[in-house]
Amino acid sequence: FQSLSVAQRYLLLAGAGLACLAAGPLLERLLKFLINRRQSRGRCRRQFDCIFFSGGSLLPPCQAASQALAAAASSSNDPAVFCPDPSDCRLSHSSQHPYFQLIRQLASAVRSLDLCMYTLSSPDLSALLLALSQRKPRPVRVRVICDSEQLHSLGSAIAKLRSAGLPIRADSTSYFMHHKFCVIDRSLVLTGSLNWTGQGTLGNWENVVALDDVKVVEAFRREFERLWQEFSPASRSAR
């Protein structure tokens, strides 16, 4: 730098200044990206949740309240536990009841809900799926994968969902399609031991874990899509 003339020094400094001005917006965008990524990771950690069903030791949830909570999904209202006559109702209205927690998570779906469930017979949860698929003005795309033996089993809600127009697919083997998970809006996964049955939600010791970690959600999303293609009528006819 010392060997340069005054004019050359001015030109070099001017060029460096212009380079800094040009790089400024890029550096600003990079900084915003890093900040947003860090905040996003923080939100993922805070949104981790576990729901435990306690083997019938809890007071059963109010049926009217659970129906009202599920019905709220059809109108995009904020789900709240509600009972028409709570003074005479001896059932639970606690917002922390695991059944109400599960319904609120499901009712949060905005764009899509992909359910991979061994068996489904809960009237409230099947009604919730229908309500989401018929939501106005923007229906939620609901798809269901289940075990083939559960399609027409006693008490199963699968046939009702299919007759209502929901796309349903099942395996065609003697083995069990034993998954129990749900992908909501491609950004949240619910998984655990729970089958969507009255026994599972109101009697058994069960668990549901809610995760929004990007890698975990993507892994479950890919598994759902893999099974959706594998269990398609076209794939079966090609075998």
What is the tens place of the pLDDT at every residue in 77-91? 554 555 656 566 656
Which pTM was predicted?
Answer: 0.74
Contact 159, 179 (CB under 8 A): no
Average of pLDDT values for 31-49?
Answer: 57
Domain ranges of the chain: 1-47, 48-58+106-237
Element spanning 208, H or E:
strand 205-211
Catalytic residues: 178, 180, 185
What fold is seen in the domain 48-58+106-237? Endonuclease; Chain A (3.30.870)
Q: Helix H segments across the chain? A: 6-47, 63-71, 98-107, 123-133, 158-163, 198-202, 214-230, 233-237
Greater pLDDT, 150 or 64: 150
Six-digit token string for 64 = 């009217």
Average of pLDDT values for 66-77?
Answer: 62
- Whole-number Å distance between alpha carbons of 172 and 232: 10
Six-digit token string for 11 = 């030109």
pLDDT confidence of residue 55: 72
